[in-house]
Structure 1
């Protein structure tokens, strides 16, 4: 996944044309590829990378090599169980929703909502299916993979993600970027439109 993300991260973050933010929460941030892309696009911002302890060790090395220790805080835990670090105004969830059931996603979205600052936003990068669930074709095939490889994972429609984000307290949910693969992005506001 890291190699795939590295090939698209800088361009995707640039294409999103996001307003300035102060502090990113990269949920399940792995080795930091997406954290690095956001910090490159927003040189005044800081970040918190949150992932399992063994993964955070890998990220720590990459952050040190990139000279970003002063801009990135590391926090460890299980995003499906633990409270998330507070004090961020933008949360990024990349390629997580498809690994979870809808109930797991609603629970995760509630924890993200609780962690974000009052006017915070969340961005969910994943496959987003059309209502027919047959397109994009890659997503339909990927849903079968998730059925076999996870306890409750699947690919979800925009309406499902919107409903799950709204049930967690988010508002102004929009399909910010449409893509035939994993690079669709859904955005939601904690406090409504900024």
Structure 2
């Protein structure tokens, strides 16, 4: 991956991009509004014939003024084109409507991030998630996750699960290829990995370790699926370095978890993993690193996701460059003995063993 070593734009292209950045919030809200009011869907349904402004008014119930300003903005954004006063959908408009990744990202930015991002500069200067106050007064978003408004929770979990759901089927065979029987799932959230593991391997027992609020959600789901004999629960505040981790596991598993913490916190968590494991045990970490992506757009999405952590999640974590992350692994006394890139959409699996 070498996307960022040269400035390849002409001066005119660079100035054009600067205007897109300046009007970025406007572009976002227009695209979302055209999607959510049904404008894009109505235009798409007309096929190559297209619709006039009056026809779009009839189908959406929006005013002439509202339809006009949105369409004119949509022309500049590239969502629609117009010929003989009739509007048709572009390829970009199609992806705004139908691409699952785009929808998940857009809903996450709108419902979870948008208002809090206005406090980004304060978050950078103060080293804490100043934007989180739009939802509540918790130190991090994780303490308040179960108390967020339902539509915000829905978009948060949809964003989180979209990437793990894509990666889990591919990574299961890597995790259980050596006959793992007892696995500690740190940061197991709603229990998705524990459920997938139970269905994949009939002999594995998973213990989920997480905050009590998250475990309540996981425990209910596990019970509904009749998996209570296969999954246990260990409530813990992982940011409290005085709390040791349970022992007796073949593997400690962490998926999309350590990116929720600062470098110092990552080292602290991994050191407690070190103390909890036998010499034969190992840690498996599934993470998305922006420098290991096959496509520049994937790297871009991860880089921008970091800003959510800065302004809303906790103020000190991010989607990491792989070398920064591996330095934390080494500082905790582990070495990476296996690295498997390009799992699912964007993930890397690290197998880490104690340095003897």
TM-score normalised by length of structure 2: 0.49
**Alpha-carbon shift at residue 4 of structure 1 (Å):** 2.3
Q: Deviations over 1:46-65 (max 9, x none)?
A: 11111111222222221122
Distance 1:77 1:61 in 2: 18
- The gaps in structure 2 that reach 5 residues or longer are 1-156
Give the conservation status (yes or no) of the 8 Å contact 2:163–2:345: no
Match of 1:108 among 269, 275, 278: 269
Range with greater deviation from structure 2 (85-94 or 122-131): 122-131
Change in 2 beyond 3 A, CA 1:19/1:36: same
1:145 and 2:317 are equivalent in the alignment:
no
Q: Which has the higher contact order (CA 8 A, sep 6+)?
A: 1
- Number of equivalences: 191
* SS across alignment from 1:117: coil
State the partner residue of 1:26. 185
State the partner residue of 1:8. 166
Q: Radius of gyration: which is bigger?
A: 2
Match of 2:332 among 137, 153, 168: 168
**Alpha-carbon shift at residue 162 of structure 1 (Å):** 1.7
**Alpha-carbon shift at residue 30 of structure 1 (Å):** 1.4
**Alpha-carbon shift at residue 90 of structure 1 (Å):** 1.1
Give the conservation status (yes or no) of the 8 Å contact 1:23–1:89: yes
Distance 2:343 2:204 in 1: 27
* SS across alignment from 1:84: coil
Q: Deviations over 1:21-76 (max 9, x none)?
A: 12111101112101111222221111111111122222222112222221211110
* SS across alignment from 1:184: strand
1:130 and 2:288 are equivalent in the alignment:
no
**Alpha-carbon shift at residue 12 of structure 1 (Å):** 2.8
Distance 1:77 1:86 in 2: 14
State the partner residue of 1:158. 322
More strand by share: 1
Give the conservation status (yes or no) of the 8 Å contact 1:32–1:62: yes
1:89 and 2:250 are equivalent in the alignment:
yes
Distance 1:7 1:22 in 2: 22
**Alpha-carbon shift at residue 9 of structure 1 (Å):** 5.3
Q: Deviations over 1:107-157 (max 9, x none)?
A: 1111112122321121222221328xx872221111222222222111212
More helix by share: 2
Change in 2 beyond 3 A, CA 1:13/1:41: farther
Give the conservation status (yes or no) of the 8 Å contact 1:127–1:184: yes
Change in 2 beyond 3 A, CA 1:93/1:182: farther
Distance 2:268 2:165 in 1: 30
**Alpha-carbon shift at residue 7 of structure 1 (Å):** 3.0
Change in 2 beyond 3 A, CA 1:106/1:170: same
RMSD, aligned CA: 2.5
State the partner residue of 2:212. 53
Distance 1:10 1:181 in 2: 11
Give the conservation status (yes or no) of the 8 Å contact 1:121–1:190: yes
Change in 2 beyond 3 A, CA 1:71/1:117: farther
Change in 2 beyond 3 A, CA 1:158/1:5: closer
